[in-house]
Structure 1
Amino acid sequence: MTMDYGKARELMVEQQVRPWDVLDARVLDALVSIPRDAFVPSQHRALSYADVALPLAHGESMMKPVVEGRVLQSIDVQAGDEVLEIGTGSGFLTACLGRLGREVHSIELHADLADEARARLDAMGLGVNVRIEVADAFAWNTERRFDAIVVTGAVDAIPGRFLQWLRPEGRMFIVRGASPAMEAVVARNGVNGPRIESLFETDLPYLVGAAPAPRFDF
């Protein structure tokens, strides 16, 4: 018996995402219209629309659908926005950001994940306004400034360099803190330092290089 992915996608939105207060019509439309199953590694495809995070190579993971919905709603990407994504992963969130914004620049540490994400986006005609670059976010530099930034891995504390890439009215989704009780926030550049809006508790794998230093108890 083959799975009806289209039906599963509709149920995911109606039974998981919408009940978690994701009500933005453009976000819901992106989640309904972009086939998440096409971005999931083949061995996990049956779980494409389940309420679970899914493993990727290199210890990375795809966020739960409900978290992806909250990410997209929280940064309110508009049609003219330029978006930076730190951590391409499977490319699914990249595709959603590309649907919502004018242009997406996505950086990914692992070349194989970047190549696979690019191939998936191109195969579905979703890569026209997306650029994927292999880079380490903690070594990467750019003169560009972005309207919205999505960081798909957790950090111990919000890196100042990430905030520098925001435009004055820009907003960044990022998860910070110590596992298992991390905090998802939206950060904005303010006159007196970043303004932080707390969203919800979650738990994500750390970005490479962003985990807290180990503490030794004597």
Structure 2
Amino acid sequence: MNVEQARFNMIEQQIRPWDVLDTSVLDLLSAVRREDFVPEAHRALAFMDIEIPLPAGQCMLNPKVEARLVQDLDLSKYDNVLQVGAGSGYVTALIAHKAKRVIAIENKPELVALARHNLRKAGINNAEVVEGDGAQGYSAQAPYNAILLTGSVTAVPQILLDQLKPGGRLLAIVGREPVMQATLFIKSDQGQVTQTALFDTLAAPLDGMASPRPFIL
């Protein structure tokens, strides 16, 4: 397989047509080697438009969804970010290139070890993977400028919204199959939260967060 051609095709045929037009994100997708974050047994699938199996029964999102979430979180180099669900560390690596610091919380020990290994191998030094219950967030480093949930939830736990700074945003895939929407929650300077549906997609449920206490407008 011509890896660079496959990477180019992934970006141009899958990701760009999905309204991922931010050149900084597209450049990142070229620079961060997705195949290095895919388990060896599935390495040949690294650039395909599918979810890729991970240890502990989890999976990587397909590339176009990963890219769209990173773009729509609209990060800056001043942002401190909480990522709920570390997976293999790939999305963590993308976020780390755009933000000041990333805390990725993961409840599967196998994935904690995998993500730490992959991030270390990729030379990412502004991201930390911690083991814990993502439904509770990570109050030790709160508040955050941005929070990203890397799997679907039926509703966003209020405790996560409480860990946002004023002006902060949270991005999650919300709903139940077959109807899910990537939804952006923004907290005002006064603490009020509004939400906007960005796009329709499907994603596996985020482990341990199938039926959280909902946020109610």
Superposed CA RMSD in Å reads: 1.6
Compute the displacement of 1:56 (Å).
1.2
Indicate yes or no: 2:163 matched with 1:135: no
Is this contact kept in 1: 2:83–2:150, CA < 8 A? yes
Structure 2 residues without counterparts, runs of 5 or longer: 213-217
Matches of 2:173 and 2:136 in 1, distance apart? 20
Indicate yes or no: 2:169 matched with 1:208: no
Partner of 1:7: 5
Compute the displacement of 1:172 (Å).
1.0
- SS of residue matched to 1:175: strand
Matches of 2:102 and 2:81 in 1, distance apart? 5
- SS of residue matched to 2:185: strand
Is this contact kept in 1: 2:144–2:164, CA < 8 A? yes
Partner of 1:197: 196
Structure 1 residues without counterparts, runs of 5 or longer: 214-218
Which TM-score applies when normalising by structure 1? Answer: 0.91
1:13-92 map, 5 Å: 13-92=11-90
Matches of 1:141 and 1:97 in 2, distance apart? 17
Is this contact kept in 2: 1:107–1:137, CA < 8 A? yes
CA shift in 2, pair 1:114/1:200, >3 Å:
same
- SS of residue matched to 1:138: helix
The letter of the residue matching 1:179 is E
Which TM-score applies when normalising by structure 2? Answer: 0.91
Is this contact kept in 2: 1:154–1:204, CA < 8 A? yes
The letter of the residue matching 2:130 is E
Compute the displacement of 1:140 (Å).
4.9
Aligned pair count reads 210
The letter of the residue matching 2:75 is V
Is this contact kept in 1: 2:96–2:127, CA < 8 A? yes
Is this contact kept in 2: 1:30–1:100, CA < 8 A? no
Q: Can you list the C-alpha shifts for 1:140-191, whole angstroms capped at 9, x where unaligned?
A: 5415211111101211111101111111111111011111221111111244
Compute the displacement of 1:138 (Å).
2.7
The letter of the residue matching 1:205 is A
Is this contact kept in 1: 2:133–2:208, CA < 8 A? no
Q: Can you list the C-alpha shifts for 1:10-66, whole angstroms capped at 9, x where unaligned?
A: 211111111111111111111110000001111211110011111112221111111
Matches of 1:134 and 1:212 in 2, distance apart? 21
189-198 vs 14-23, which moves further: 189-198
Matches of 1:102 and 1:141 in 2, distance apart? 17
Matches of 1:159 and 1:182 in 2, distance apart? 16
Partner of 1:159: 157
CA shift in 2, pair 1:141/1:98, >3 Å:
closer
Is this contact kept in 2: 1:84–1:146, CA < 8 A? yes
Partner of 2:170: 172
